[in-house]
Chains A and B, each alone.
Chain A
Amino acid sequence: MPFNFRDILDSFKVPDEEIDQIITHLESHYPNGSDPYGLDLKRAKKVLSILHPIYYKYFKVRVFGKENVQDSPYIVASNHSGQIAIDAMLICLAFVLEMEKPRVLRPLVERFVPAIPFIGQLFAEGGAVLGDRENCQRLLEQGESVLVFPEGVRGIAKNHEDYYKLQNFTKGFIRQALQAKKPILPIAVVGAEEFYPYVQHSKKLAKLLNAPAFPLTPTMLLGPLGLLPMPSPVDIYIGRPYELPEDIKPEASDNEIAPHLELIVEQIKDMILEGRKKRRPFWANKPLEND
């Protein structure tokens, strides 16, 4: 096939009509176009136009298990990977772009995020909310779904030899689900680990800069360009919603909660394994036998 530059450009063209339809649908949920957490649909529309080709063309995201998602509130719990929270962005985009009824998934962010100039604001305009118990409960009561990464920073900030090894999940999200009486929707993201194929973390530098983590990767030698994530194809697997028994209280002991946590983690592990087996070829894919 002869090389046609116009065809390539056209393939990155954003379907305005599709984005308009999504925003119109979202406006029925947020009639003011905003909410007290800082969501701003006007700005979100602009950002969506920029992210649309990144989602479909750069990371070539595929979503499996869409049929598991109903138009109702969930605590969406995912594995965390990729050094920076691009996985969160892609999951949120999947819920906006790929679902029959688009919805703003509300990622609960670390406490330092809202304090970062410009970034905190950008996150809030896109739907992110400070990871606070009261915020979480209020959102769920209002019928919103929240996105959590129970591995926390430990999940995202791994050295490359630990890629796809799930870190310990905290139990807070299960207690939140018990309190709000909402199901947990397990999610596995496969492909994000390879955004930065070779990474070692410097604890000393992180401590020096008072940062939660400080990843070092050889591409940093290229300057700012080297910070761009690799175009590793991403697959998002959505599991079956996990309904917690009604007779467990949010204040239940860790022992009571542990079996449920284990089942959720197992489901995510299984999805990651299946996802890695079915991965599209990419030069940096971590082979299963290297685990």
Chain B
Amino acid sequence: MSTKKIKSVLIIGIAGGLAKITATLLTKMHPNIKIIGIDSRRLDFQPSSPNITLIQAKYTRSNFENIFREHEFDSVIHLGRTSHASSNPLGSLAKRLDLNVIGTQRILDLCLKYEVKRVLILSTFHVYGAFADNPIFLKEDAQLRADFKHPEIRDVVEMDQVSSNWMWKNQDLIKTVILRPCNIVGPSIKNAITAYLTSSLSPIPLDFNPMFQFLHEFDMANLIAGGINKMKTGIYNVAPDDYISIRDAKKLVGKGGIPMSVFLLENAAQFIKRAWLDGPNYLIDYIKYPCLLDNNALKTIYPDFKFRFDSKDSLGFLKD
């Protein structure tokens, strides 16, 4: 287990809420740290610390390598996966494949070339897929089946697989941690599940009621900031111990919704679905079938880490 000090970190996807919190936590944990935050999106915010430098750039472009050349990063945190939260996920599949798969491969190759010591990649529990025949509590070695039914999520599965293959291939050279968190929620997070939970027009399933796990953005950022130095090479599910049914989650958030059969919704015309659910098609499966994570590997490898918020606490932050 590497316990060397973290001096210089590259955070990819710094415009995201989670990346900002992670950067802030890192500056508190390591006062002399230098953080370069990169994102292709507009960076119209002030960093929380003078130790953080923001750069707007695309990491698929050739000049991205200059950043590695100019800064001797000892750690790279890849939080730059393009999400599916847009209303037209099919239309942007090629773009997402380029960014999430080719882009990730490029980042990892540069990490190797410039002798980065630690890499942390944020994947997602969506890679497992929500299926009626999922065992309760998916372990890290479960098959990644998300794209069996929804090809539009192929980029997420491929990104995870590219990272995993690279991780095992280079495990003697570089410490790599892949995290597969459950639903992350919090005031800074804009994702499909947050949109679903906070919309008064979203469907509340009458015919299914799967269990969900929710992770607060602070816990996720805290795990990344603390864990990059403490976790061994490997893939880890990230989820609190508790769980809540989707109906109870909607009730707890208190924004209402439309009770209906998601079986019928799934078979309804696309435009009707769009009116109710401004999110990716595969999300409907996640409100039908369970996709809970087994968190024992994380507990074993990082026993000091304690979640500050449980699923219900985390949902409480979506009330207002």
Chain A interface residues (CB < 8 Å from chain B): 34, 36-38, 40, 111-112, 114-115, 117-118, 120-121, 124-125, 129-130, 132-135, 138
B interface with A by C-beta (< 8 Å): 132-137, 139, 206-211, 243, 245, 261-263, 289-290, 292
Residue from the set A36, A37, A111, A132 with the largest chain B CB neighbour count within 10 Å: A36
Inter-subunit contact B208/A120 (CB<8 Å):
yes
Complex Cα distance, B134 from A121, in Å, reads 15
B133 touching A111, Cβ below 8 Å? yes
Q: Is the CB of B135 within 8 A of A36?
A: no
Known: A36-B243, A38-B209, A38-B245. A134 touches B135 (CB 8 A): yes
B132, A117: Cβ atoms under 8 Å?
Answer: no
Q: CB distance B135 to A111 under 8 Å?
A: no
Interface CB pairs A-B, < 8 A, 28: A36-B136, A36-B137, A36-B211, A36-B290, A38-B209, A40-B245, A111-B133, A114-B133, A114-B289, A115-B133, A115-B289, A117-B208, A117-B261, A117-B262, A118-B206, A118-B261, A120-B132, A120-B208, A121-B208, A124-B209, A125-B209, A130-B133, A130-B136, A132-B133, A132-B135, A133-B135, A134-B136, A138-B137
Interface class of chain A by DSSP? mixed
Count how many pairs of residues, one from A and one from B, have CB atoms less than 8 Å apart in the complex. 57
With A36-B211, A117-B207, A117-B261 known as contacts, the answer to whether A130 contacts B132 (CB < 8 A) is yes
Contact A114 B132 (CB under 8 A): yes
Q: A34-B245, A130-B132, A135-B136 are in contact. Are A121 and B263 (CB under 8 A)?
A: no
A205 CB to nearest B CB, Å: 23
Pairwise interchain contact A138-B132, C-beta atoms closer than 8 A: no
Complex Cα spacing A120 to B263, Å = 12
Which 7 A-B pairs give the minimum distances between C-beta atoms? A117-B207, A115-B132, A117-B263, A134-B135, A114-B132, A132-B135, A111-B133
Residues on B with C-beta less than 8 A from A112 are: 132
CB neighbours (8 Å) of A118 from chain B are: 206-207, 261
Q: Are B136 and A129 in contact (CB under 8 A)?
A: yes
